[in-house]
Structures are given as C-alpha cells and as structure tokens.
Amino acid sequence: EPEVTQTPSHQVTQMGQEVILRCVPISNHLYFYWYRQILGQKVEFLVSFYNNEISEKSEIFDDQFSVERPDGSNFTLKIRSTKLEDSAMYFCASSEWGDRNEKLFFGSGTQLSVL
C-alpha cells in the first residue's frame, strides 16, 4: 500500500534555530496536512494545504510556522525559531481529495526535540 514518508524520524535542535521537517505525500494525493502531538497529549491539527496555498490553519500555526511544496513530491514544515514548547511528534498526512467523504493517510512522524 502506498504510504506517506517523513524525514528525519528524529530531529534535535537548539532553541532559536530553524528546522525543516520533510514529507513525501502519496503521489496522486492533492491535499496535505501537518499535525503535531506533544507527549501524552492529543494529536493537534496545524495546517492543511492545497494547490500551493494554505487551506486552513489552527491557532497553533503562527508566524513561526510555514509550509511549502518546493517540488512535485515534497511537502515541508518550517519552524523559523524553535521554542522549547515546539518539542513534539510532527505528523504529515495526505488525502486524495479534500472532500468530506475522504480518509487521511498519515506518516510515521518526526520527533522534534528542542533543547
């Protein structure tokens, strides 16, 4: 079965540094998403992306965050200046369409540790 691929699986960074998390969505999918999960907490929606534009974003997705589809296969999440509270597991997801009758496919995540 096709899958969403995320790299790296673990990322350690210093507070204030920029990080880029990378995702390769399923090839024929058109809608892309980022979620995060702080240890012991719920999976939280960050942003959805379609046609090279942000479709929706949550309150968490402030000016420190940005997303990009730099080429035909990658989808990235950038955190400009990391904070301690950005430490979390970040999940990328994709779906074929953005219809309501749709399922999301999630990657296995990138564990981000901010020191």
Partner 1 sequence: DAKTTQPPSMDCAEGRAANLPCNHSTISGNEYVYWYRQIHSQGPQYIIHGLKNNETNEMASLIITEDRKSSTLILPHATLRDTAVYYCIDENSGGYQKVTFGTGTKLQVIP
Instruction: Determine which residue in the list 77, 79, 95, 112 makes contact with partner 1, applying CB under 8 A.
Output: 95
The DSSP secondary-structure symbol of 83 reads -
Number of residues counted as binding partner 1 (CB under 8 A): 30
Q: Is 105 in the site for partner 1 (CB under 8 A)?
A: yes
**How far apart (Å, rounded) are the C-alpha atoms in residues 77 and 57?**
13
The DSSP secondary-structure symbol of 86 reads G
Residue placing its CB nearer to partner 1 in the complex, 66 or 98 = 98
**How far apart (Å, rounded) are the C-alpha atoms in residues 79 and 109?**
16
Q: Which of residues 3-62 bind partner 1 (CB under 8 A)?
A: 4, 31, 33, 35, 37, 42-45, 48, 50, 55-56
Q: Mention every residue, 6+ apart, whose C-beta is less than 8 A from residue 49.
A: 31, 32, 33, 55, 67, 69, 75
Residue placing its CB nearer to partner 1 in the complex, 1 or 14 = 1
**Chain residues in the site for partner 1 (CB under 8 A):** 4, 31, 33, 35, 37, 42-45, 48, 50, 55-56, 89, 91, 93, 95, 97-109
